[in-house]
Amino acid sequence: MIAESLIQRKPPTKESAVLRDQLLRDLQGAASVSEPVARQLLERLTPHERWALLKYAGKGLRDWLLAAYRDAELSAAPGLEAAHYPELPEFLLDRLQDWEAKNRRRLEARIKNGHARAPETLRRMMVEPIALARFIADRGVDRWETMKMSDRIAFARTRPKFAQHKLKAFITFIEGGNPFQTRRGRPPKKAKKVIKEIRQIAVLTPDELKARLQDARQRLPADQYLIYWLVAKLGLTAKVAYGLTLDKITINAKGRVVIRPAEAWFAMPKSIAPTMEKLARNADAQWPYETPTDAAAIPVFAAVISERRVGPEIFRSETTLLRSSAIHAAMHYGQLDRKTLASISGVSLKTISDMEFLVPADIHSLVSHDLVAKRNRAILGSDDE
């Protein structure tokens, strides 16, 4: 099984390849003694190492690992990716590494408390601080204390506006402040605006969206079309759709394949449900479980296509447009309850509120408040009826 795993898809980076080879070698050495020794090795690994072992294992080894993790109640979770630093002066690099360590501790504490964080979160947080360090190093600055406002302004002119916001916490940190200080108490009053500015949201008409779905079904394999459908029909973000894990997929009492990408379970249409079921069984031969959370949090689409190819190849770089169009189409065809839309697709109530201006009806006048409240209780499972 280890030999089978070694000939699987090569890890994308040198660091991940080294980690995979080391883990498989250690497991091989332990397994050559006995299976109990191999299981003891798994208990000594970190959740990140167990996740990496599971990610790069062949099908046979993956099934054995899942059984071993369940038997010993071992957790497996993706680790936070480290930042990659260019050649920098020592004092610039030291503070960057301090900032990375501070954020790593904060993110790991949140993950431990049940908050989901993508593996690339930490690495992305470091992009702008590293870019700033490289910029001022090229201007002859070798420590943060000697950086001038003119350096910061010159750097800001080279970056998009949204990137400047990501630097605020880091600048506070290097200036000796607390970037994560909680601001308690009542916020100061702001002058009220008579007219509220609403950003126009670009959407396709329902007919145009239907044509996009038909085109995607013809050009994509069934498993890749399923990712497309989750965004363009159900209204998920591409990140949530691609990252859908096994513990959020099951078969209900009526024999329907159901998924829970946000708060509520959703029954898959019978035309595409077999594809989802096949992917789930490929990820874990013992799926489905009586309790969905007993399944490992394995991304079922990881073996379908690499994440970096999802946007350009599956969605043709239209992910935001397709998701907005899916939400708009659902409202257009009568899915008018905000709570239902948010519970199924994870879309924010602010976005729903903005998009209501695109629907030619006052959606709150169509049903009674009592009916809406009762439906919300049913969705959240707090209704005893």
Whether 112 has a pLDDT exceeding 60, the answer reads: yes
Question: How high is the pLDDT of residue 18?
Answer: 86
Whether 181 maps to a domain, the answer reads no
Check if the beta carbon of residue 7 is closer than 8 Å to that of residue 64.
Answer: no
Average pLDDT over residues 142-163: 84
Q: What is the pLDDT of residues 250-265, one digit of tens each?
A: 999 889 999 998 888 8
Whether 27 maps to a domain, the answer reads yes
Task: Tell me which amino acid residue 303 is.
Answer: A
SS3 50: helix
Sign, CA dihedral 335-336-342-343, equals negative
Whether 360 maps to a domain, the answer reads yes
CB neighbours of residue 143 within 10 Å: 14
Q: What is the pLDDT of residues 20-74, one digit of tens each?
A: 888 888 999 988 999 999 999 988 888 778 888 888 888 888 888 888 888 888 8
Q: Are residues 154 and 224 in the same domain?
A: no
Whether 254 maps to a domain, the answer reads yes
Which residue, among 126, 149, 130, 146, has the nearest Cα to 88 in the 3D structure? 130
Q: Are residues 151 and 96 in the same domain?
A: yes
Cα–Cα distances (Å) from 53 to 16, 19, 24, 62, 127, in that order, read 10, 9, 7, 8, 28
**Total domains in the fold of the chain:** 3
Question: How high is the pLDDT of residue 71?
Answer: 85
Distance between CA atoms of residues 250 and 300, nearest Å: 12
Q: What is the pLDDT of residues 203-258, one digit of tens each?
A: 888 889 999 999 999 999 999 999 999 999 998 999 999 999 999 999 998 899 99
Q: Are residues 101 and 212 in the same domain?
A: no
Which residue, among 226, 276, 282, has the nearest Cα to 249 in the 3D structure? 276
Q: Are residues 215 and 310 in the same domain?
A: yes
DSSP state of 271: T
Whether 188 maps to a domain, the answer reads no
Which range, of 132-146, 199-213, 280-294, averages the lowest pLDDT?
199-213
Question: How high is the pLDDT of residue 363?
Answer: 42
Distance between CA atoms of residues 175 and 145, nearest Å: 8
Question: How high is the pLDDT of residue 194?
Answer: 44
Whether 312 has a pLDDT exceeding 80, the answer reads: yes
Q: Taking the model in full, what pTM does it have?
A: 0.52
For residue 288, whether the previous peptide bond is cis, meaning omega lies within 30 degrees of 0, is yes
Which range, of 13-17, 110-114, 179-183, 203-207, averages the lowest pLDDT?
179-183
Q: Are residues 51 and 106 in the same domain?
A: no
**For residue 233, what are the contacts with CB-CB under 8 A and spacing of at least 6?**
213, 326
Distance between CA atoms of residues 98 and 118, nearest Å: 21
- Mean pLDDT rounded to a whole number for the chain: 82
How many percent of the chain have pLDDT more than 70? 84
CATH number, domain with residue 246: 1.10.443
Whether 81 maps to a domain, the answer reads no
Q: Are residues 355 and 266 in the same domain?
A: yes
Whether 384 has a pLDDT exceeding 60, the answer reads: no
Which residue, among 82, 154, 93, 85, has the nearest Cα to 119 in the 3D structure? 82
Q: Are residues 229 and 344 in the same domain?
A: yes
Q: Are residues 262 and 363 in the same domain?
A: yes
Check if the beta carbon of residue 287 is closer than 8 Å to that of residue 246.
Answer: yes
Distance between CA atoms of residues 123 and 65, nearest Å: 28
Sign, CA dihedral 327-244-267-227, equals positive
- Give how far the C-alpha of residue 57 lies from the chain's centroid of Cα atoms, to the nearest Å: 22
* Secondary structure in 3-state letters for 293-321: HHCCCCECCCCCCCHHHHHHHHCCCCHHH
How many percent of the chain have pLDDT more than 90? 23
Which range, of 66-80, 274-288, 304-318, averages the lowest pLDDT?
66-80
Q: Model confidence at 362, in pLDDT bands (50, 70, 90)?
A: very low
Question: How high is the pLDDT of residue 369?
Answer: 60
Check if the beta carbon of residue 250 is closer than 8 Å to that of residue 258.
Answer: yes
Q: Which residue has the higher pLDDT, 197 or 4?
A: 4
Classify residue 186 by burial, with Cβ atoms within 10 Å: 0-12, 13-18, 19+: exposed
Question: How high is the pLDDT of residue 258?
Answer: 93
Q: Are residues 231 and 368 in the same domain?
A: yes
Q: Are residues 155 and 213 in the same domain?
A: no
Q: Are residues 118 and 262 in the same domain?
A: no
Average pLDDT over residues 321-341: 80
Write down which residue in 128, 153, 174 finishes a domain: 174
Whether 79 maps to a domain, the answer reads no
Q: Model confidence at 364, in pLDDT bands (50, 70, 90)?
A: very low
Q: Which residue has the higher pLDDT, 352 or 189?
A: 352
Check if the beta carbon of residue 173 is closer than 8 Å to that of residue 125.
Answer: no
Whether 195 maps to a domain, the answer reads no
Tokens 């280890």: give the residue: 2
Cα–Cα distances (Å) from 255 to 135, 259, 273, in that order, read 58, 13, 11
Q: Are residues 218 and 360 in the same domain?
A: yes
Q: Which domain holds residue 126?
A: 90-174
End-to-end Cα separation, the chain, in angstroms = 50
